Amino acid sequence: MRVLVVAAHPDDEALGCGGTIARHVHDGDTVDVVFLADGVTSRSSDIPSNEALKERRTSALSAGALLGVAATKFGDFPDNSLDTVPLLDLAQFVETHISRTAPDVVYTHHGGDLNVDHRLTHEAVLTACRPQPDSQVRTILTFETPSSTEWRAPGPQSAFIPHWFVDITHTIDVKISALRAYDLEMRDFPHARSIEAVIHLSRWRGASVGYAAAEAFSLVRHLG
């Protein structure tokens, strides 16, 4: 299979589906990753934005190499401001990479995340993957992103309801290695975006379906 992961920022892919990416690669599938924004240039920091951007992209390439990603592509949309960009522009950017990679499976953000870039990335992917007769995309799955998905106020429209689970018992260590490549983005426990919290979540998602570790997804569409 060919797999495309569309994420708002570098580190979202490892947080949301790093173990699944590694599973796909182990099974012989080809995985490409596309980021829409950089995740750093909107921040106030002592580090110049160009230096922070270079460091974040280096981390993304390192994480991708650990996970076995075939290609990593970076968009240059404004960080934490995707709501200022016409949805058509975002969707056309995603469509370009859909055409380039011809994926069977697409992974992206849950549409109810607190982070606005996550929500707009979700909308762009669904727009780009409209179920037209010539579409090659057979499956669309959305992942949870610790420190965004669970931080949204609860409600029927924003709830992450998983009903697709991937066993990452043998790839959780690869996922954690990829997250360590993003060491500047990780926080100390009990922050939701800490190594310990990610491990706990993986163990809980696994235990809920009888695995030692798992990643959970919400299915948007699957064509058999």
Q: Any idea where the domains of the chain sit in the sequence?
A: 2-222
- In this structure, the strands spanning 214-222 and 164-167 are antiparallel
State the first-to-last Cα distance of the chain, in angstroms, to the nearest integer.
Answer: 14
Q: Which fold does the domain 2-222 belong to in CATH? A: Rossmann fold (3.40.50)
The amino acid that residue 129 corresponds to is C
CA-closest candidate to residue 25, choices 71, 73, 69, 72: 69
Tokens 């992450």 sit on residue: 160
Cα separation, 97 vs 34, whole angstroms: 8
pLDDT tens across 103-116, in order?
Answer: 999 999 999 999 99
Cα separation, 55 vs 164, whole angstroms: 34
User: Band of the pLDDT at 44, cuts 50, 70, 90?
Assistant: low
pLDDT tens across 9-29, in order?
Answer: 999 999 999 999 999 999 999
- Dump strand ranges (E) for the chain: 2-7, 30-35, 71-74, 105-109, 139-143, 164-167, 214-222
Q: What is the pTM of this model?
A: 0.96
Tokens encoding 154: 């609860």
